[in-house]
C-alpha cells in the first residue's frame, strides 16, 4: 500500500486482528508518573492519578495538580495547558492568602 493510514493491526495472545479506521489519535503517557507520591498524604485514585477539587487543589493544603496526572483529566494537550494556567492562578491566590494570614 501507499503511505496512507488505513488501520491498526493488533497482536494479542498470538492472534492478529486488523481494525480499519479513517484516522488515528495517538495517546502517550496515559499511566501517570505519580509513584513518588505513594508514601505521601496526597490522595491518588485507583489508577494513580492525583485527586483534586474543581480548583485543582489536592487534599494537602498548598499542593495543586493539573493536566494528565489529575484524576478526571481529558488527556488532551489543550486541556492540560488550560489547567496549568488555572493551577498557576490558584497557587498565586493561595500564596496571597497565606501572606495575608501572617
Question: Domains of the chain: which residue ranges?
Answer: 30-101
- Nearest residue to 29 (alpha-carbon basis) of 73, 69, 58, 64: 69
Span 30-101: which CATH code?
3.50.50.60
Q: What is the pLDDT of residue 20?
A: 86
Whole-structure pTM over 0.75, yes or no?
no
Q: Which residue has the higher pLDDT, 21 or 100?
A: 100
Per cent of the chain over pLDDT 90 is 63
Place 72 in a pLDDT band, splitting at 50, 70 and 90: very high
**pLDDT category, 10, cuts 50, 70, 90?**
confident
DSSP 37-93: GTTSS--B-TTSPBP--TTSB-SSTT-B--GGGBTT----HHHHHHHHHHHHHHHHH
Amino acid at each position: 500500500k501507499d503511505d496512507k493510514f488505513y488501520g491498526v493491526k493488533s497482536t494479542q495472545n498470538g492472534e492478529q486482528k486488523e481494525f480499519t479506521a479513517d484516522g488515528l489519535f495517538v495517546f502517550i503517557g496515559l499511566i501517570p508518573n505519580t509513584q513518588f507520591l505513594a508514601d505521601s498524604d496526597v490522595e491518588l485514585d485507583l489508577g494513580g492519578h492525583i485527586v483534586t477539587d474543581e480548583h485543582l487543589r489536592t487534599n494537602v493544603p498548598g499542593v495543586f495538580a493539573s493536566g494528565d496526572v489529575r484524576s478526571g483529566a481529558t488527556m488532551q494537550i489543550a486541556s492540560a495547558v488550560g489547567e496549568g494556567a488555572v493551577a498557576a492562578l490558584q497557587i498565586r491566590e493561595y500564596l496571597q492568602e497565606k501572606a495575608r494570614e501572617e
